[in-house]
Structure 1
């Protein structure tokens, strides 16, 4: 129970003043001369007045001290955590309000841009606005070189003319299926291998380059117990590709590699030619000897290896859609480092699952090309449907070095589980650790929401406790205590609104930001061409955001 409320310091001071007033008025009231008793009574009143005044002053001092203690008690100690969301000042201090970078959303209606050299990662379910909210806006905004995966061909249809006409970019569209009547430029995923094999100073890197391509053509699976047959098939792909690059560079294409391995007679002739080769310090001869011995001593096993290789190369079968598209080069991927080239990799959505490895091969080819280019320009790899590219060989290791070479990778996925299934938990964790910007919205997985809640950390909050006492007439006591609370609970993560997003930028407090479709931003709405998949104009609404641009010289 609380102690009874003490008297007011002001009241006590008034009592003290009254005693002094009475002592001063005593002679006038009772007359003079004063005898010893009068002087004693006056002294007693003065003493009581002084004591009262002192008590009142001490009461005020105590109140001031209690007020300071209360203020101190109301200050959050942070003992359970100090997590907090960033405000606009934090964003400005981090340079996120500078427009020379990649658009990543808004905070309190102000556009945010990431100008760092490292990578980005976006995670949101299908049809939740990744394209209209971020991919298309950046193709309209970003003025450097871009290579972008285009699962429906709509990105090229909407933004290619703008990048060509307004930004002065050289635009190429890898478009095997001829989507939307757009150009059909060719890209040979083996071009870097050909160039290495023909350059005496770089030929020693050719085996490693072809080994990575063989892994991309025939990706590793989670079944680590049954690696024997896939490894045998990869050896055939590896050896055949290396042979073509060294001895027949003019025919070094994936359709030709398929043609060789799919035809037993031709393959036997190539193996014999490999045995006679002295290239690469005898490496080709050793590969030829190994394949010839297996063909002779274990013909059924050899045929199983060959059938596996043919199956993986079948998407490049001559006469198919991809065959012509990968049989030559209409664009030099190394030119991306000039800062003035845009390459769209357009694919029908229904072909992504079966043919996505071809896109992965081209992306890997582009990474090799820009990594070895002497040019100093910046290149953005904008990889929509990232998980459908297949497992990109050596990606986790490449991500560490690429920022120093002027290359940023923006990975766009539908769910984190895709990344884990493709790369395994450890490599997926490494890939995410290389992203300085992580973006999440429309989270619909309870497990993912919980992991994000934990990643945001905890804040310390004050709680007010009440003590009701034992009896009805007891005064109610109050006290403050502290406890820990998630900055954002899992249920709050899944409850984010349509226009909200969560941004985790390295070195900055978490940002609870906004997002909007590009047609609500001027001049993006005017710059975008019509989407051929929709067949209608974009909604005609007043822009919520207006940006100013200077003409690129």
Structure 2
């Protein structure tokens, strides 16, 4: 709409009308006052008409400048919408802040955080929740700084049982043990549960020798390795020395031909599980005799699967016995830390995945309404957790919440595949992104944020100097945030996708910005002293009847 088409102002008409009325009041008696009165009234009516025209024109201009939404109506959530989504409940998990208010999520389903290394996941995501949330937690702890900073707090203030699996003995922290194969002995010794033994062995073999997503090549050999592992694990679980049902012992059997032949001979004489063990021994012995080369390939694959548990390695003692049960996560307030050096995750990450899978299964089998949080940092480096994506829908109803933390979505897709990663994201009530640098990921986030309708203005210059310029308006689509805008977000900003809410452009804050979290955290054994800047947020707690 051109400015030259605007209606004249109504003010001069009102001024002129007022002047006529004034002159009428000053006229001497007998003068034609009615004439000035009529002129004043006409001027006033003219002014009212022009005022109405201007108001109508303003409404049209406002409508022209208001996007119709035809190309999309994406926007970020406001404070009211965050509250409507339940993000103001301090009993939930801490996500960050928005417009000066702390955000919490008190749902039952899962969460996913995607952020590169060394961008503050520990100080703004994991540590705050270890300090704040009083429920049971299973947490993977690269570098051991989480246990060093929060274990005493969770034991003393939250009155929790704290277990620290720390095979490398980092920072002088406790070194508790857990035997992943002990569950097999327990199942065999319980007649009511004995039928579950073969299924558990099958799942363990799939965890140790996972089936890569979409890779059919060498599947025959992987299955051969799994079959050998299943046979030997069943043998160890059903023989008379349950204390030797361990992964280091399994490695010994596979590595030594003498030990393997001894095991097969013993299995052939077993009547356990209605003769199943003896049948497996016969199959293994036949393969060894008739196709030694193929059996060697199966055996080599099985050895590689348990090589990190060899008797002289770092993990041997940690998996030799159990000082606690994963079921305690459900039966009483418990926190379990899995501590591993950062530079060992690439080679020993399978240990994290194995124990995470067993802990999830143990909690899911227990009765009760308690929610257990699985904080899985470096989730893509622990290998594929067998049957996780297939179980995500059911797990919240069984008291299991999984919070996966990865550096890139591409890593998750590499481990779980595209479809399974899509399942993980769809089953996550909260998906959190920050410090995004990967352009492909930024494009994905931009597409997920959606588009909005924007007004564009075009100036049409006249063809001659005397012709007035004109203005036209049109609508077009624009991303709520472009990939470049996402990559250039300040480091303390984050994008949250929360179920039943528009996307949220929120703030990240370190734990020391919240009182009393900064006071509760212990010395960081890796980075040194925690900054003691003035807290900008305050939380209130009632612990053991005392307000904190």
**TM-score greater than 0.5 by the shorter chain:** yes
Say if 2:136 and 2:333, in contact at 8 Å, map to a contact too.
Answer: yes
Write out per-residue CA displacement over residues 135-173 of structure 1, whole angstroms, 9 at most, x where no aligned residue.
111111110111110111111111111111111111111
Task: Find the partner of 2:465 among 458, 465, 472.
Answer: 472
CA distance in 2, matches of 1:7, 1:342: 75
CA distance in 1, matches of 2:445, 2:376: 23
**Paired residues for 1:517-536 under 5 Å:** 517-534=510-527, 536=528
Three-state SS of the structure 2 residue aligned to 1:321 is coil
Three-state SS of the structure 2 residue aligned to 1:99 is coil
* Structure 2: segments with no counterpart, 5+ residues: none
**Paired residues for 1:5-154 under 5 Å:** 59-154=50-145
Say if 2:267 and 2:278, in contact at 8 Å, map to a contact too.
Answer: yes
Deviation at 1:179, TM superposition (A): 1.1
Deviation at 1:451, TM superposition (A): 0.7
**Paired residues for 1:67-466 under 5 Å:** 67-221=58-212, 223-248=215-240, 249-466=242-459
CA distance in 2, matches of 1:12, 1:307: 99
CA spacing shift, 1:488–1:281, aligned 2, 3 Å: farther
CA distance in 1, matches of 2:520, 2:234: 45
CA distance in 2, matches of 1:419, 1:116: 23
CA spacing shift, 1:69–1:188, aligned 2, 3 Å: same
Which position in structure 1 is the counterpart of 2:536?
544
CA distance in 2, matches of 1:92, 1:245: 53
Say if 2:251 and 2:310, in contact at 8 Å, map to a contact too.
Answer: yes
Aligned residues: 535
Three-state SS of the structure 1 residue aligned to 2:316 is helix
CA spacing shift, 1:208–1:468, aligned 2, 3 Å: same
CA distance in 1, matches of 2:55, 2:513: 55
Structure 1 range deviating more: 279-288 or 145-154 = 279-288
Three-state SS of the structure 1 residue aligned to 2:392 is helix
CA distance in 1, matches of 2:118, 2:4: 64
* Structure 1: segments with no counterpart, 5+ residues: 31-41
CA distance in 1, matches of 2:164, 2:406: 22
CA distance in 2, matches of 1:504, 1:94: 11
Deviation at 1:74, TM superposition (A): 2.8
CA spacing shift, 1:265–1:484, aligned 2, 3 Å: same
Say if 1:339 and 1:379, in contact at 8 Å, map to a contact too.
Answer: no
Which position in structure 2 is the counterpart of 1:38?
none
Deviation at 1:273, TM superposition (A): 3.6
Which position in structure 2 is the counterpart of 1:33?
none
Structure 1 range deviating more: 54-63 or 478-487 = 54-63
CA distance in 1, matches of 2:119, 2:226: 38
**How high is the TM-score relative to the length of structure 1?**
0.89
Structure 1 range deviating more: 243-252 or 326-335 = 243-252
CA distance in 1, matches of 2:6, 2:383: 75
CA spacing shift, 1:310–1:12, aligned 2, 3 Å: closer
Say if 1:260 and 1:267, in contact at 8 Å, map to a contact too.
Answer: yes
**What is the root-mean-square deviation of aligned Cα atoms in Å?**
2.8
CA spacing shift, 1:315–1:12, aligned 2, 3 Å: closer
Deviation at 1:2, TM superposition (A): 8.6
Say if 1:339 and 1:378, in contact at 8 Å, map to a contact too.
Answer: no
Write out per-residue CA displacement over residues 187-206 of structure 1, whole angstroms, 9 at most, x where no aligned residue.
01123333222222222222
Say if 2:308 and 2:348, in contact at 8 Å, map to a contact too.
Answer: yes
CA spacing shift, 1:52–1:546, aligned 2, 3 Å: closer
Say if 2:518 and 2:532, in contact at 8 Å, map to a contact too.
Answer: no
CA spacing shift, 1:138–1:57, aligned 2, 3 Å: closer
Say if 2:9 and 2:54, in contact at 8 Å, map to a contact too.
Answer: no
CA distance in 1, matches of 2:454, 2:499: 25
CA distance in 2, matches of 1:202, 1:319: 34
Three-state SS of the structure 2 residue aligned to 1:146 is strand
Write out per-residue CA displacement over residues 486-538 of structure 1, whole angstroms, 9 at most, x where no aligned residue.
1111111001112111111111111111112222222111111111223x322
CA spacing shift, 1:412–1:287, aligned 2, 3 Å: same
Write out per-residue CA displacement over residues 268-304 of structure 1, whole angstroms, 9 at most, x where no aligned residue.
2322443444444544343222212211210121122
CA distance in 1, matches of 2:382, 2:243: 27
CA distance in 2, matches of 1:315, 1:115: 38
